Structure 1
Amino acid sequence: MSKRDVVFPPGRQALYERNRYSPAIRSNGFLFVSGQVGSTEDGSPEPDLETQVRLAFNNLNAILGSAGCTFDDVIDITVFIVDPQETFETIWKVVPEFWGNAPHPTLTAVGVTWLYGFEFEIKVIAKLPETIKS
Protein backbone atom coordinates (compact mmCIF):
# COMPACT_ATOMS: atom_id res chain seq x y z
CA MET A 1 0.00 0.00 0.00
CA SER A 2 1.26 3.47 -0.78
CA LYS A 3 1.76 5.98 2.00
CA ARG A 4 -1.28 8.15 2.72
CA ASP A 5 -0.96 11.83 1.79
CA VAL A 6 -2.45 13.28 4.98
CA VAL A 7 -3.56 16.90 5.35
CA PHE A 8 -3.41 18.43 8.83
CA PRO A 9 -4.95 21.80 9.65
CA PRO A 10 -2.81 24.15 11.74
CA GLY A 11 -2.90 23.64 15.48
CA ARG A 12 -5.05 20.49 15.70
CA GLN A 13 -2.66 17.65 14.88
CA ALA A 14 -2.53 16.45 18.51
CA LEU A 15 -6.32 16.04 18.53
CA TYR A 16 -6.17 13.79 15.45
CA GLU A 17 -3.22 11.82 16.79
CA ARG A 18 -5.00 11.26 20.11
CA ASN A 19 -8.11 9.98 18.32
CA ARG A 20 -6.07 7.98 15.76
CA TYR A 21 -7.43 9.21 12.44
CA SER A 22 -6.43 11.52 9.62
CA PRO A 23 -8.34 14.76 9.08
CA ALA A 24 -8.06 14.40 5.29
CA ILE A 25 -6.34 12.32 2.64
CA ARG A 26 -5.36 13.49 -0.84
CA SER A 27 -5.80 10.77 -3.47
CA ASN A 28 -6.14 10.73 -7.26
CA GLY A 29 -7.08 14.40 -7.55
CA PHE A 30 -9.57 14.35 -4.69
CA LEU A 31 -9.54 15.31 -1.03
CA PHE A 32 -11.43 13.00 1.32
CA VAL A 33 -12.18 14.85 4.56
CA SER A 34 -13.10 13.07 7.79
CA GLY A 35 -16.26 14.17 9.56
CA GLN A 36 -15.83 17.54 11.24
CA VAL A 37 -17.69 18.58 14.36
CA GLY A 38 -18.03 21.81 16.26
CA SER A 39 -15.27 21.11 18.71
CA THR A 40 -13.30 23.62 20.67
CA GLU A 41 -9.49 23.44 20.50
CA ASP A 42 -9.37 20.75 23.19
CA GLY A 43 -11.84 18.59 21.23
CA SER A 44 -14.84 19.10 23.50
CA PRO A 45 -18.29 19.88 22.05
CA GLU A 46 -19.43 23.49 21.78
CA PRO A 47 -22.72 23.52 23.73
CA ASP A 48 -24.58 26.12 21.61
CA LEU A 49 -25.89 24.41 18.45
CA GLU A 50 -25.52 27.37 16.05
CA THR A 51 -21.99 27.99 17.29
CA GLN A 52 -21.25 24.27 17.08
CA VAL A 53 -22.32 24.20 13.40
CA ARG A 54 -20.19 27.28 12.62
CA LEU A 55 -17.20 25.68 14.34
CA ALA A 56 -17.71 22.48 12.33
CA PHE A 57 -17.63 24.52 9.11
CA ASN A 58 -14.61 26.51 10.35
CA ASN A 59 -12.79 23.26 11.18
CA LEU A 60 -13.73 21.92 7.74
CA ASN A 61 -12.55 25.11 6.03
CA ALA A 62 -9.21 24.92 7.88
CA ILE A 63 -8.63 21.45 6.44
CA LEU A 64 -9.75 22.50 2.95
CA GLY A 65 -7.43 25.50 3.13
CA SER A 66 -4.51 23.35 4.26
CA ALA A 67 -5.01 21.29 1.10
CA GLY A 68 -5.24 24.36 -1.15
CA CYS A 69 -9.02 24.06 -1.55
CA THR A 70 -12.08 26.09 -0.62
CA PHE A 71 -15.68 25.07 -0.08
CA ASP A 72 -16.22 25.84 -3.80
CA ASP A 73 -14.14 22.71 -4.53
CA VAL A 74 -16.48 20.47 -2.51
CA ILE A 75 -18.46 18.07 -4.72
CA ASP A 76 -20.11 15.76 -2.18
CA ILE A 77 -21.34 16.35 1.37
CA THR A 78 -22.63 14.02 4.05
CA VAL A 79 -24.07 15.53 7.22
CA PHE A 80 -25.01 13.65 10.35
CA ILE A 81 -27.61 15.26 12.62
CA VAL A 82 -28.75 14.17 16.06
CA ASP A 83 -32.54 14.57 16.39
CA PRO A 84 -33.00 16.25 12.97
CA GLN A 85 -36.69 16.88 13.57
CA GLU A 86 -35.77 19.22 16.43
CA THR A 87 -32.44 20.62 15.22
CA PHE A 88 -32.67 20.83 11.42
CA GLU A 89 -34.03 24.39 11.20
CA THR A 90 -31.39 25.74 13.59
CA ILE A 91 -28.63 23.98 11.67
CA TRP A 92 -29.91 24.94 8.23
CA LYS A 93 -30.07 28.65 8.99
CA VAL A 94 -26.27 28.56 9.46
CA VAL A 95 -25.53 26.58 6.28
CA PRO A 96 -25.95 29.49 3.78
CA GLU A 97 -23.10 31.33 5.53
CA PHE A 98 -20.72 28.65 4.23
CA TRP A 99 -22.44 26.87 1.34
CA GLY A 100 -21.91 29.46 -1.39
CA ASN A 101 -23.92 29.93 -4.56
CA ALA A 102 -25.54 27.33 -6.80
CA PRO A 103 -24.79 24.92 -8.24
CA HIS A 104 -24.40 23.24 -4.85
CA PRO A 105 -22.58 19.99 -4.04
CA THR A 106 -24.47 16.75 -3.72
CA LEU A 107 -25.83 16.16 -0.22
CA THR A 108 -26.78 13.22 1.95
CA ALA A 109 -28.27 14.02 5.36
CA VAL A 110 -28.43 11.25 7.94
CA GLY A 111 -30.29 11.35 11.23
CA VAL A 112 -28.33 9.65 14.00
CA THR A 113 -28.77 9.02 17.70
CA TRP A 114 -25.22 9.68 18.88
CA LEU A 115 -22.22 11.76 17.78
CA TYR A 116 -19.95 11.59 20.81
CA GLY A 117 -21.64 14.57 22.46
CA PHE A 118 -22.05 16.60 19.28
CA GLU A 119 -25.27 17.35 17.39
CA PHE A 120 -23.85 17.96 13.90
CA GLU A 121 -21.06 16.48 11.80
CA ILE A 122 -20.06 17.22 8.20
CA LYS A 123 -17.79 15.18 5.93
CA VAL A 124 -16.94 16.07 2.36
CA ILE A 125 -15.13 15.05 -0.78
CA ALA A 126 -13.50 17.89 -2.71
CA LYS A 127 -11.82 18.05 -6.10
CA LEU A 128 -8.26 19.28 -5.71
CA PRO A 129 -7.41 22.23 -7.92
CA GLU A 130 -5.50 21.22 -11.06
CA THR A 131 -2.38 22.99 -9.80
CA ILE A 132 -2.17 20.70 -6.74
CA LYS A 133 -0.69 17.25 -7.26
CA SER A 134 -2.12 14.37 -5.25
Structure 2
Amino acid sequence: MTAKPIVPTELQSYYDDWRMSPGLLVDGFLFLTGFTGARSDGTLSEDPETQMRNAFEKMGLVLRKADLDFSSVVEMTTYHVGLRDHLDLFKAVRSDYVREPFPAWTAIEVTGFVREGAIVEIRAIARQQ
Protein backbone atom coordinates (compact mmCIF):
# COMPACT_ATOMS: atom_id res chain seq x y z
CA MET A 1 0.00 0.00 0.00
CA THR A 2 1.28 3.42 -0.94
CA ALA A 3 -0.08 6.43 0.91
CA LYS A 4 0.48 9.99 -0.28
CA PRO A 5 -0.43 12.96 1.94
CA ILE A 6 -2.42 15.69 0.18
CA VAL A 7 -1.61 18.99 1.87
CA PRO A 8 -2.74 22.26 0.31
CA THR A 9 -0.57 25.20 1.35
CA GLU A 10 -3.52 26.77 3.17
CA LEU A 11 -3.82 23.66 5.37
CA GLN A 12 -0.13 23.00 6.09
CA SER A 13 -0.72 23.63 9.81
CA TYR A 14 -2.91 20.52 9.96
CA TYR A 15 0.09 18.46 8.89
CA ASP A 16 2.66 20.31 11.01
CA ASP A 17 0.73 21.12 14.20
CA TRP A 18 -1.87 18.35 14.37
CA ARG A 19 0.30 15.69 12.69
CA MET A 20 -2.47 14.66 10.30
CA SER A 21 -2.97 14.84 6.59
CA PRO A 22 -5.83 17.01 5.32
CA GLY A 23 -6.15 14.24 2.73
CA LEU A 24 -4.46 10.89 2.30
CA LEU A 25 -4.43 9.24 -1.13
CA VAL A 26 -4.38 5.44 -0.86
CA ASP A 27 -4.97 3.05 -3.76
CA GLY A 28 -7.09 5.53 -5.72
CA PHE A 29 -9.14 6.67 -2.74
CA LEU A 30 -8.72 10.05 -1.09
CA PHE A 31 -9.56 10.06 2.61
CA LEU A 32 -10.29 13.59 3.81
CA THR A 33 -9.90 14.52 7.44
CA GLY A 34 -12.87 16.09 9.20
CA PHE A 35 -13.15 19.82 8.57
CA THR A 36 -15.00 22.33 10.71
CA GLY A 37 -15.97 25.79 9.52
CA ALA A 38 -13.10 27.56 11.26
CA ARG A 39 -11.37 30.28 9.26
CA SER A 40 -7.67 30.05 8.45
CA ASP A 41 -6.88 32.08 11.59
CA GLY A 42 -8.82 29.58 13.72
CA THR A 43 -11.78 31.83 14.45
CA LEU A 44 -15.38 30.84 13.82
CA SER A 45 -18.23 32.82 12.40
CA GLU A 46 -21.37 32.84 14.51
CA ASP A 47 -23.33 32.39 11.27
CA PRO A 48 -24.09 28.67 10.69
CA GLU A 49 -24.14 29.04 6.90
CA THR A 50 -20.69 30.64 6.88
CA GLN A 51 -19.31 27.79 9.00
CA MET A 52 -20.83 25.21 6.66
CA ARG A 53 -19.45 26.89 3.55
CA ASN A 54 -16.00 27.25 5.12
CA ALA A 55 -15.93 23.51 5.84
CA PHE A 56 -16.90 22.67 2.25
CA GLU A 57 -14.32 25.13 0.92
CA LYS A 58 -11.57 23.38 2.90
CA MET A 59 -12.69 20.08 1.41
CA GLY A 60 -12.48 21.70 -2.02
CA LEU A 61 -8.87 22.74 -1.39
CA VAL A 62 -7.89 19.14 -0.71
CA LEU A 63 -9.89 17.74 -3.62
CA ARG A 64 -8.34 20.22 -6.07
CA LYS A 65 -4.82 19.52 -4.75
CA ALA A 66 -5.48 15.85 -5.62
CA ASP A 67 -6.84 16.85 -9.07
CA LEU A 68 -10.37 15.88 -8.02
CA ASP A 69 -13.61 17.74 -7.40
CA PHE A 70 -16.82 17.22 -5.45
CA SER A 71 -18.13 14.79 -8.09
CA SER A 72 -15.39 12.41 -6.91
CA VAL A 73 -16.82 12.19 -3.38
CA VAL A 74 -18.32 8.73 -2.77
CA GLU A 75 -19.02 8.92 0.97
CA MET A 76 -19.61 11.76 3.40
CA THR A 77 -20.16 11.78 7.15
CA THR A 78 -21.21 15.00 8.82
CA TYR A 79 -21.23 15.73 12.53
CA HIS A 80 -23.54 18.42 13.88
CA VAL A 81 -24.17 20.31 17.10
CA GLY A 82 -27.88 21.11 16.87
CA LEU A 83 -28.52 18.83 13.89
CA ARG A 84 -32.27 19.37 13.80
CA ASP A 85 -31.84 23.13 14.15
CA HIS A 86 -29.82 23.51 10.96
CA LEU A 87 -30.33 20.35 8.89
CA ASP A 88 -32.40 22.12 6.22
CA LEU A 89 -29.78 24.86 5.92
CA PHE A 90 -27.00 22.28 5.74
CA LYS A 91 -28.82 20.36 3.01
CA ALA A 92 -29.20 23.60 1.01
CA VAL A 93 -25.51 24.51 1.38
CA ARG A 94 -24.45 20.93 0.62
CA SER A 95 -26.44 21.03 -2.63
CA ASP A 96 -24.23 23.92 -3.81
CA TYR A 97 -21.23 21.57 -3.69
CA VAL A 98 -22.40 17.97 -4.14
CA ARG A 99 -23.85 16.84 -7.45
CA GLU A 100 -25.25 13.62 -8.92
CA PRO A 101 -24.46 10.87 -8.52
CA PHE A 102 -24.84 11.82 -4.88
CA PRO A 103 -22.43 10.26 -2.40
CA ALA A 104 -23.56 8.09 0.47
CA TRP A 105 -24.17 10.37 3.47
CA THR A 106 -24.63 9.98 7.21
CA ALA A 107 -25.43 12.91 9.51
CA ILE A 108 -24.69 12.46 13.21
CA GLU A 109 -25.62 14.64 16.21
CA VAL A 110 -22.71 15.37 18.58
CA THR A 111 -22.37 17.42 21.75
CA GLY A 112 -19.34 19.44 20.70
CA PHE A 113 -15.99 19.79 18.98
CA VAL A 114 -12.46 20.76 20.01
CA ARG A 115 -13.04 24.34 18.87
CA GLU A 116 -15.76 25.98 20.99
CA GLY A 117 -18.57 27.32 18.83
CA ALA A 118 -18.14 24.92 15.91
CA ILE A 119 -21.46 23.48 14.78
CA VAL A 120 -20.41 21.15 11.96
CA GLU A 121 -17.56 18.90 10.88
CA ILE A 122 -17.43 17.14 7.51
CA ARG A 123 -15.30 14.13 6.60
CA ALA A 124 -15.39 12.36 3.27
CA ILE A 125 -13.90 9.77 0.98
CA ALA A 126 -13.36 10.50 -2.71
CA ARG A 127 -12.21 8.24 -5.52
CA GLN A 128 -10.05 8.87 -8.52
CA GLN A 129 -11.68 7.95 -11.86
Matching residue of 2:13: 14
1:108 aligns with 2:106: yes
CA contact (8 A) 2:14 2:20 kept: no
Aligned to 1:47, the other structure's residue is in SS state: coil
> 1:26-105 counterparts in 2 under 5 A?
26-100=25-99, 102-105=100-103
Going from structure 1 to structure 2, the CA distance change for 1:3 and 1:127 (only over 3 Å counts) comes to closer
8 Å contact from structure 2 (residues 2, 27) kept in 1? no
Residue 119 (str. 1) matches residue 124 (str. 2) = no
| Deviation (angstroms), 1:128 | 1.5
CA–CA separation in structure 1 for the residues paired with 2:41 and 2:17: 11
Q: What is the CA-CA distance between 1:3 and the residue it aligns to? A: 6.7
Maintained 8 Å contact 1:64/1:71:
yes
Could you list the per-position Cα deviations for residues 65-105 of structure 1 after superposition, in whole angstroms to 9, with x for gaps in the alignment? 001110000100101011112121222221111112x2210
RMSD of equivalent CA atoms: 1.5
Looking at structure 2, the residues matched to 125 and 12 of structure 1 have their Cα atoms a distance apart, in angstroms, of 18
Question: Taking structure 1 as the reference length, what is the TM-score of the superposition?
Answer: 0.87
Q: CA deviation at 1:121?
A: 0.9
Aligned-residue identity in percent: 30
TM-score normalised by structure 2 residue count: 0.90
- Residue range with higher mean Cα deviation, 88-97 or 33-42: 88-97
What are structure 2's unaligned runs of at least 5 residues? none
Q: How many residues align?
A: 127
Gapped runs of 5+ residues in structure 1? 130-134
Q: Which amino acid aligns with 1:24?
A: G
1:48 Cα deviation after fit: 1.2
Q: Distance in 2 between matches of 1:48 and 1:17?
A: 29
Question: 2:24 maps to what in 1?
Answer: 25
1:94 aligned partner, one-letter code: V
Question: Shift of residue 47 of structure 1?
Answer: 2.1
